[in-house]
Amino acid sequence: MATVVLILALAVLLAVAWAVGVPIVVTADLALEAGAVLDTPLVIAANGVTIDGRGATIHGPGAPDDRESFRGVGVLSEGRRGVTIRNLTVRGFARGLEARYGRDWLVEDCDFSDNYDDPSFGWGDGARRGGVVWTGISRSTVRRCRAERVWNGLDLRRCHENVVEHNVLAHCSNVCLKLWGSRGNRVADNDLSWGLRIDPGEVHARDSTGVLIEAGSDGNRFERNDVTHGGDGIFIRSLTGPVSTGNVFLENDCSYANNNGFESWSPGNVFRGNRARHCSYGFWLGGSSETVLEGNDASFNGRVDGFHNAPVPEFGHAGIVFVYGPGHHSVVDGNRCARNAGAGIAFCGGLASRGESWRMQDLAIRNNELFDNEVGLLAWYVDGLCLANNAFEGNARDEWIESVTGLRRGRAGGQGSPAPPDGPDEKGIA
């Protein structure tokens, strides 16, 4: 009886809020009329149901020239599991699909574009609105869906062990994909490009980004995603306190970011085979201790013919930079950093105090290609630095090493400084 009362209350409330037809309450499998256009949202009120849109559209009250008219939710679920939604278009709402507290969902071949969007919003995250908003949904899949021209494409809060693959979640004015306290998710082969909120002539991109990871979002895996042309590409943020660690990033492209291709303020993450080219910085890794970067391409960053925002006053830009936060016990191995306006790779302890307040510690920099940069490798205020097999060519200055203790060299390449005849190699340093 309580469930029936709750469903009826939701239906009445939603109908009043939306000023559209009374919602359809779904308690069994539902197939909509092929190609139909409906003004009646759906409320899912049973487990294990399948909704086949068959190309139908649920159209909310939103009008393109009236942002405040985007109200309500196109498809709403609370506490349901085993739900499947296919072949459905939802537009004109504050949130296209909102699901809270459930598991074993499958959403595929749906379009949640043209829901709430706000390209003129200032700084900050705003409310949770846009294409798909999930809270507490686990072991579920979003596949081959679209959410474009929205505030957030896919917003996951406390959502665990989900698969997000082959979607187009692009051209979002806040974030294409947002993870908050969400663990163990796999995100692969998606278009997450143009997470960007910026006016013509504006030099910053406010808080927009392709992917935003925060609040203890641990152990996620990102593979082969297009995260180009964002404010940032992939941003691991720690404003709320808990860091996000144990994440793995493989072969993602975060090029052409207005600010940073990758930005992280959390320790213990792995970046392999990614691209971060033509950004202000390729990898900005302040606060990223125990981090591994292997086989990435961080080239053409900070150039005057591209993005070159927020240069570090002491040295400008860089392909890979650890600055303003510790990067202790990190490994930078086999990366290509070419033609950056500034350093190829830069590590700096406390700049304001010239290393008196804190210093970088125990770094292994090896097998990197550092070509045609202003400085190939910059290391300031570091205790424990291993350099091995790095290749230098065409840099205005190969190395700029200042106030470094415990410097060890292995074999050098190109024009770099050779190892001393009796110097130790890099074995065991990292």
pLDDT recorded at residue 413: 45
pLDDT digits (tens, 9 = 90+) for 310-321: 999 999 999 999
Confidence of residue 105 (pLDDT cuts 50, 70, 90): very high
pLDDT recorded at residue 424: 30
- pLDDT at 290 > cutoff 90: yes
pLDDT recorded at residue 54: 97
DSSP 214-250: ESS--S-EEES-B--SSSEEEEE--TTS----S-EEE
pLDDT recorded at residue 251: 98
- CATH, range 2-414: 2.160.20
- pTM metric for this prediction: 0.91
Cα of 174 vs its chain's centroid, Å: 11
pLDDT recorded at residue 202: 87
pLDDT digits (tens, 9 = 90+) for 207-246: 899 999 999 999 999 999 999 999 999 999 998 889 999 9
pLDDT recorded at residue 21: 61
Q: What is the average per-residue pLDDT within 48-66?
A: 96
pLDDT recorded at residue 241: 82
- Would you kindly state where each structural domain of the chain is located, as residue ranges? 2-414
Q: Considering only residues 396 and 425, tell me which one the structure prediction assigns the higher pLDDT.
A: 396
* Cβ–Cβ under 8 Å, residues 334 and 301: no
Distance CA 131, CA 146 (A): 8
DSSP 3-state helix, strand, coil percentages of the chain (rounded to 5)?
5, 45, 55
Residue in the structure block whose two tokens are 């860091």: 243
pLDDT digits (tens, 9 = 90+) for 3-38: 443 444 444 434 433 445 689 999 999 999 999 999
pLDDT recorded at residue 3: 45
Pair of tokens at residue 186: 């796999």
Q: How far is CA 137 from CA 70, 100, 106, in A?
A: 24, 6, 11
